[in-house]
Amino acid sequence: MIDSLYAIFKISLKAIFANKMRAALTSLGIIIGVAAVITVLAVGSATKKSISDRFSNMGTNIIFLRQPWNLDDSISSPKDVTMDDVIAIRQIDGVDAAAPYIQNSFNVKYKNTSVGLSVLATDTDIFKAYGWEIEKGRAFTGKEIADYGQVMVIGASAAQTIFGDVEPLDKTVVLNNIPFKVVGVTKKTGSSGFGFNIDEGALIPYTTGKVKMDTGWGSSNRRALDRVVIKVADFNQIENSKVDIQNAVRNTHHIHPLGKDDFQLDDMASFVEQAKSTATTMSLFLGIIGAVSLIVGGIGVMNIMLVSVTERTREIGIRMAIGATSWNIRLQFLVESMTLSCLGGLIGIILGIIFTLFVAKYMSLSAQLSVWAILVSAGFSAATGIFFGYYPAYKASKLTPIDALRYE
């Protein structure tokens, strides 16, 4: 039996390599499908892990207070999020930090160097909220905040880009035509503050940003904040903290007990789940495209196998005339179809691994090659050969020796 299967396999390989170009084009759909499935699943897994790591670095006990992007039409006079809200929130038990947050991008100039940086106008509570640390120098003081001080704390990578080997402390840079003295450099963290990467950015007092750089922030209300970043002491009490924060902000906004909120509270856990869900949906969508490619490739295999049956009708007749059974003929074409599909699957797996490593490097992701995805892809390519090769094999086995020998 083993010798018979080996002989059939050799015949299949001979038939495939006799028409190399046709075999390659036939397998192309399977190759693309398998490579796409492996790459999409691997990159999708890496993306979800990257999202989890990025958000976990900031902590899941973070709450954001902001004005909704789509306000309810029934709210006639919505109020901006301001420092009044920050002050009220800081009085709540269980709140470790509440930091004002206003972000924009500016060119930071030092001598002949000009670098575009993301700049965050805030106060020292931002360090408590995100766990950022000062490596050199200091953070700005309460007096500097109150006096609209033109001082800056710069990220480690940004400092290297702007100053190179020069010591950045006490150097003056120009931001939006206003001079700022660098008073501190943060320790490199590799984490971002929900859209703000401290390593590549800079911090200035929120008062300075709103008053002296008002046009740069694009808001007509000098008291308005983009959001407030709030850190609660106990993650298990985050829902209770959200209720306390909601009540405090309703009081500062003078909202009637029956009135609707003109603000929104988001917690980090919901952002993590939303981001993961989006990544999963995209991976599923792209995976379906890969699966469709596999099906199209399978149809191509079936078409070529039908052509092969027609071309080799006399060969089938001769084999049946010298004793080959219908099962032998069926098995021959089934093995040939499976071999064609499995060769395509093997090439697709190799390309999928290469693509995964390339994409992971290009996107700065940790490659997450899934053995499960590789095994499923290999199994699917073999199943494609069986499923789409069965009909041509069945058709070949139903030929009678006399009809087959008569065929021209």
Closest by Cα among 135, 57, 45, 49 to 371:
45
- The pair of structure tokens assigned to 22 is 């046709």
Residue 313, H or E segment: helix 313-321
What is the number of other CB atoms lying within 10 angstroms of the CB of residue 396?
A: 26
Q: Are 205 and 146 in contact (CB under 8 A)?
A: no
- Which residues lie across from 312 on neighbouring strands? none
DSSP state of 197: B
Return the domain boundaries, the chain. Answer: 2-53+273-406, 68-262
Q: Are 368 and 28 in contact (CB under 8 A)?
A: no
pLDDT tens digit at each of 408 positions of the chain: 444 666 766 766 776 777 777 777 777 778 887 887 788 777 777 776 666 666 555 556 889 999 887 766 666 677 889 999 999 999 999 999 999 999 988 999 998 889 999 999 999 999 999 889 999 999 999 999 999 999 999 999 999 999 998 999 999 999 988 999 999 999 998 765 567 889 999 999 999 988 877 655 555 566 789 899 999 988 778 888 999 999 999 999 988 888 888 898 988 666 667 766 777 777 777 777 767 777 777 777 777 777 777 766 677 667 777 777 777 777 777 777 788 788 888 888 888 888 888 877 776 666 666 677 777 777 777 777 777 777 777 776 676 666 555 555
| Residue 224 to residue 79: CA distance in whole angstroms | 9
Q: Are 352 and 377 in contact (CB under 8 A)?
A: yes
What is the number of other CB atoms lying within 10 angstroms of the CB of residue 384?
A: 29
Q: What is the predicted pLDDT for the residue at 3? A: 47
Q: What are the Cα distances from residue 321, in Å, to 105, 329, 385?
A: 82, 12, 27
| Residue 211 to residue 221: CA distance in whole angstroms | 10
Q: What is the predicted pLDDT for the residue at 405? A: 55
Q: Are 374 and 64 in contact (CB under 8 A)?
A: no
CA 43 to chain centre: 8
- Which residues touch 160 (CB under 8 Å, ≥6 apart)? none
Q: What are the Cα distances from residue 374, in Å, to 24, 39, 98, 338, 391?
A: 21, 10, 47, 17, 27
| Residue 275 to residue 285: CA distance in whole angstroms | 15
pTM of the model: 0.59
Q: Are 305 and 332 in contact (CB under 8 A)?
A: no
Please, how many CA atoms are within 13 Å of residue 307, restricted to the half-sphere of its CB?
A: 12
Q: DSSP string of 252-263? A: HTT--TTSPPSS
Q: Are 78 and 262 in contact (CB under 8 A)?
A: yes
| Residue 326 to residue 292: CA distance in whole angstroms | 33
Residue 86 burial (CB < 10 Å; 0-12/13-18/19+)?
buried
DSSP state of 192: B
| Residue 261 to residue 246: CA distance in whole angstroms | 8
Q: Are 154 and 202 in contact (CB under 8 A)?
A: yes
- Which residues touch 274 (CB under 8 Å, ≥6 apart)? none
Q: What are the Cα distances from residue 271, in Å, to 51, 126, 178, 268, 402?
A: 10, 19, 36, 5, 71
